[in-house]
Amino acid sequence: MVASIPQDSTRAPGQSQDGPPEHRQPVTAPAPAPRIAVPLLGPDDPPPATTLNPDAGGPLLLVCDHASRAIPRALGDLGLPEEQLCRHIAYDIGAAEVTRRLAARFGATAVLSGFSRLVIDPNRALEDPTAIPVVSDDVVIPGNRALDAGEQARRVEALFHPYHAAVAAALSVIRGRGQVPVMVSVHSFTPAMRGVARPWHIGVLWDNDPRLPVPLIEALTADGRWCVGDNQPYSGRGTLGGTVETHATPAGYPNVLLEVRQDLIATPEGADLWAQVIGDALEPLLALPSLATIQHFPRA
């Protein structure tokens, strides 16, 4: 989907061939001038990623791929009205607030994206056609239509790569302390999809590594107050190209992706409650010996 920047084939004209052959100079075409791309981010734009508690001492790493609805000023509003930019198509409502509260509770490192997934989605593989969505939840994104390879590459270099570099750097710090990172990815989902209500309060998404998700599901269910989705409302089975699949699964780090229903965390009070619910369930699990080892689980 995202191609490399095409090479500039423009050539300056060679020397004239007029005059006697013995006085002609060899024609040597100069090297193509490098393509100069206008930087996507300006001084008034937020950074592509924010890292909280970079010097934390524990193995827990929180990531929030869809923390922000910000769009680089150079891209305007992508042709969308403000009410669309406030919806879930632009970001995961409440996810950043829950992530920040969990980072504070555990004194853990957290990496939060600084831009809207409508610009480019860091939780997608670059070859995924939805990485820069043209349509999201039946809403056409005018500013994403007919992008050339150079414009796509500008978004990749300014936003996508720096976010993943921040996640990789945070993992490297934890590994440098001799610890095995435990990655928890925080997202949110809509109360209904295409008119169908979703009953789950929280979903726990995972693939073949059960070390963290299975006891977490058990702990959340044992609370007795919540409808907990096991790979609902989405499945983590066989997914490719996301942040967890890029950084945690191949390395054998324990991981889980959480989806909290947006209406439950859209207010500060709701974010407080769900950070406590998740934190209470997660805290005793972080001491499990199985989480302190690197293990690879083959896909079914």
| Alpha helices, H only, 156-267 | 161-176, 213-222, 243-247, 262-265
Is residue 196 in a domain?
A: yes
Q: SS3 helix, strand, coil % of the chain, rounded to 5?
A: 30, 15, 55
Q: Tell me how far the alpha carbon of residue 82 is from its chain's centroid.
A: 22
SS3 229: strand
Distance CA(79)–CA(59), nearest Å, equals 42
CB atoms within 10 A of CB 192: 11
CA dihedral over 67, 73, 75, 80, signed as positive or negative: positive
Residue 35 lies in a domain: no
User: Is residue 22 domain-resident?
Assistant: no
The two three-digit tokens of residue 269, written as one number: 């009070």
On whether residue 32 sits in a domain, the answer given is no
**126 φ/ψ sector (left φ>0, alpha ψ -120 to 50, else beta):** alpha
What's the pLDDT at 298? 86
Write out the residue range of the structural domain in which residue 66 sits.
42-288
Q: Which of 289, 282, 274 is nearest to 256 (CA)?
A: 282
* Total domains present in the chain: 1
In a domain, 21, yes or no: no
Contact present, 129 and 81 (Cβ < 8 Å): no
Residue 172 maps to a domain:
yes
Give domain status of residue 99, yes or no. yes
CATH for 80: 3.40.630.40
> According to DSSP H, which parts of 127-177 are helical?
149-155, 161-176
Tens place of pLDDT per residue across the chain (300 aa)? 453 333 233 323 333 333 333 333 333 444 554 454 678 999 999 999 999 999 999 999 999 999 999 999 999 999 999 999 999 999 999 999 999 999 999 999 999 999 999 999 999 999 999 999 999 999 999 999 999 999 999 999 999 999 999 999 999 999 999 999 999 999 999 999 999 999 999 999 999 999 999 999 999 999 999 999 999 999 999 998 999 999 999 999 999 999 999 999 999 999 999 999 999 999 999 999 999 999 999 876
3-state secondary structure of 203: strand
In a domain, 243, yes or no: yes
